[in-house]
Amino acid sequence: MRALWKFIWLIGVVLLPSVALEAQCVLSVEVEVKDADLKEPLPGSTIQFIELKKASFADKDGKFVFRGICPGSYTLKVSHEACEPIILHLHIKKDEKITVLLPHLQNHLKEVQVTGYSASKPAMNATTVKGKQLDAVKGSSLAEGIAGVTGVSLLQTGTNIYKPVIHGLHSNRVLILNNGIRQEGQQWGSEHAPEIDTYIADRLTVVKGAASLRYGADALGGVVLVEPKLLRVQPGVGGELNLGMFSNNRQMNVSGMIEGNSLKNPAFSWRLQGTFKRGGNARTPNYWLANSGVEEINFSAAAGWRGEKRGIEFFISQFNTRLAIFSGSHIGNVTDMFTAINSKEPPDFIRNVGFSYQIGRPYQAVSHQLLKIKAFQELKHQQRIQAIFSAQFNRREEFDVLRFQSSSRAPGLDLSILTLSQDIIWDHFGSNKIKGSVGMQTAYQHNYYQQRFFIPNYDAFQWGAFAIEKFNLNKLKIESGIRYDIRSFFNISDNSGQRTFTNRLYQGLSGNLNAIYSLGRGWELGALVSSAWRNPQINELFSDGLHHGAARLEKGQANLTVERSNAAQMHVAYRGEGWEIEAEAYYKNIQGFIFLRPTFPAQLTIRGAFPAFEFAQTNAILRGLDLTFRKQLSPHWQITTKGALLRAWDKNTEDWIIQMPADRAEFHVTYQVASSKKLKDAYVKAQVQHVWMQTRVPATGNIEIPLPNGGIQFASDYAPPPPAYTLVGLEMGGDYQLKNRSVTITLVVSNFMNTAYREYLNAFRYFSDDMGRNISLRLKWPFEFSTINKSKKQ
């Protein structure tokens, strides 16, 4: 309650600045209009960006360039007095050149044609999950939604907590932007999943590596963008209803969205959205996972007013979840813990538990509130100023197993964190040859805990300034950026008054240079060099106790220093003649790399027996390769192959680094079904994923493993990496025409062969197998209540 009152007071009185992070609004879109029959320019054509309230006439060559466009989805209307007008729906994330072929009024049988090509690529190897691909993962966690991107893997805690891992890096090294706002919570924990509802997203974008300093210097692994669609601009009221059903844990999802725009006041738009999710115990191929259910209730609202030169937008969201923690991970004594690890399966009293929706102890209860206010003003000479304010409040309650009848029913740990942040950004986009952004960001955080100690109370402040410029030299595109940050932890204390902590101040400079060169004939070559840094987080410095959700004891190290990553990436791509080939190689030299390593002995507490871990620091080299091959065999058949390799080397010990993703490969075969009157865009896809055993782990350590002959083996982990595994999946979907509505139906079968396996990056691999076969059915039903016709009648 104390933290909540401080939240309200600070919003009303302080309005401190925000690290609201949005892509640069400096993109350009060149539209060329031609006659569909004669292929001649159509000067004087009217070209309108509906959402932006921008319109102009094509010049004598039938062209016009719109500048200062923000990334997003737009409606483009193109018309000419002698031709049929057409409306195009575009998603802009890079500079575009679009050619529109307009049919004559009298030539109704001609098909409208749109062709286009990119003038430049995103910062470096950005991959987007959208459309049918997004429909097939909605209702899953954010990390599961992007797991199909090459180079992305999952850090798991059981079957319902997932975090994204990009090129072996995760947690605070991967920034997540929710509707342009940097997600701030207790994300340092391996089992602290991002508090984001994927039903809110119109697309999910992964940017690998420290490609853009716009998002912060600490994005050593990359950035994940959760991008809702823009507010509605067509007069009327509409929306969509989503349903999801999952067989393995008998989960049900219901999500709805409704939005509107008034014909009388077209500058104003609004949207409401909500989601309910409930799932019970998950099942491996051989047994139920006791106490592994999930409950989720989410809500969001958005409203905006946009004039010709200025606008303002409001967004608010509420995320609430209860996550059960597998009972077999919280064990009463050290002997039973080692027995469970060595037996490769849970004890009988855990295995014999059947299905239930009940969430018992241990479990987490997490809530996250977000408020965003964004305003912009167009300036002369094609410039813009933006101001973005955000406030976030995150609360995490962790409920331990009750070992004694007299134990308190209160949470064992209650963490809350308040974040207030602000962005001021100036964009210039007057020239197609050079454009960019300059900005300043500030953020304040207050973290407070109750009950048992794990991390101390603290306040934090961050100030950052950046400048990013893009240069268009025809075939060569260059982006360069520089950034300076100051970060501090202060008022560090615990509730007992007995511990002493020293305030921390960190500062540093970051920079990058990204170049993309078009070789012609579909070939493209890109290179990125960057230097970025990350300060140690509060848990890495001062944690001391039970990390409840991960079922382990963690110990911080107060002498940790800053991480500095000097990295290089090379990217080559080919698109043409039915082929798509992408290859990306990366090399990261990280000085002062911070990681979590197992230690001995395991420890017995009043809450049970748990493996022990501590934070350590070394100099590391991470190098790897991401590959994607796609071949269109015919209009109906397509094959795709993906592969990801990673090597993580400890330069100090001259050995491998623990807890890195194993090599993996995927093969997909997709059949595109011919459209009919009732069924559109239907497809069937079969996929096979193979994950090799992770053999690149430290050769030895201080973990004492008893041998059958009575001896002791010194290992680097409490259990060796699990064996390799292969998973088969099936996916099919399409748009079914129901009267005047199109219902999207998607059926996905994961782990089709019901294979028993354990993932190396799952914290609960010590205690149980991963989830078995799971069949999911998703339905998306759009609806529309147009007010245009009613207004005309009146």
Q: Are 556 and 544 in contact (CB under 8 A)?
A: yes
Measure the CA–CA gap between 147 and 149, rounded to whole angstroms.
Answer: 5
Name residues whose C-beta falls within 8 Å of residue 459's C-beta, 6 or more positions apart in sequence. Answer: 444, 445, 446, 447, 489, 490, 491
3-state SS class at 403: coil
Q: What is the pLDDT of residues 282-330, one digit of tens each?
A: 999 999 999 999 999 999 999 999 888 899 999 999 999 999 999 888 7
pLDDT at 82: 64
Quick one: what percent of the chain has pLDDT higher than 70? 91
What is the average pLDDT across 58-65?
A: 81
Please, which residues bridge with residue 169 across strands?
A: 166
Phi and psi (nearest 5°) for 435? -160, 160
Domains and CATH numbers, the chain: 25-102 (2.60.40.1120), 109-226 (2.170.130.10), 227-792 (2.40.170.20)
- Site of tokens 């202060």: 490
CA angle 428–46–30, rounded 5-degree value: 40
For the cut 80, the answer to whether the pLDDT of residue 202 exceeds it is: yes
Q: How confident is the model at residue 119 (pLDDT cuts 50, 70, 90)?
A: very low
For the cut 90, the answer to whether the pLDDT of residue 774 exceeds it is: yes
What is the average pLDDT across 613-639?
A: 94
Q: Who has greater pLDDT, 740 or 689? A: 689
Please, which residues bridge with residue 313 across strands?
A: 304, 374
Measure the CA–CA gap between 200 and 273, rounded to whole angstroms.
Answer: 7
Q: What is the pLDDT of residues 642-684, one digit of tens each?
A: 999 999 999 999 999 999 999 999 999 999 998 888 888 899 9
Cis peptide before 708 (omega within 30 of 0): no
pLDDT at 288: 95
Please, which residues bridge with residue 384 across strands?
A: 378, 427
Q: What is the pLDDT of residues 166-190, one digit of tens each?
A: 999 998 899 999 998 999 988 887 7
Q: What is the pLDDT of residues 206-237, one digit of tens each?
A: 988 776 788 788 889 989 999 998 898 888 99
Q: How confident is the model at residue 407 (pLDDT cuts 50, 70, 90)?
A: low
For the cut 70, the answer to whether the pLDDT of residue 250 exceeds it is: yes
Structure tokens, 324: 């059960």
What is the average pLDDT across 753-778?
A: 95
Q: Who has greater pLDDT, 348 or 439? A: 439
Give the count of beta carbons closer than 10 Å to the beta carbon of residue 436. 18
3-state SS class at 235: coil
Q: Who has greater pLDDT, 622 or 767? A: 622
Q: What is the pLDDT of residues 716-727, one digit of tens each?
A: 999 999 999 999
Tell me which amino acid residue 700 is: T
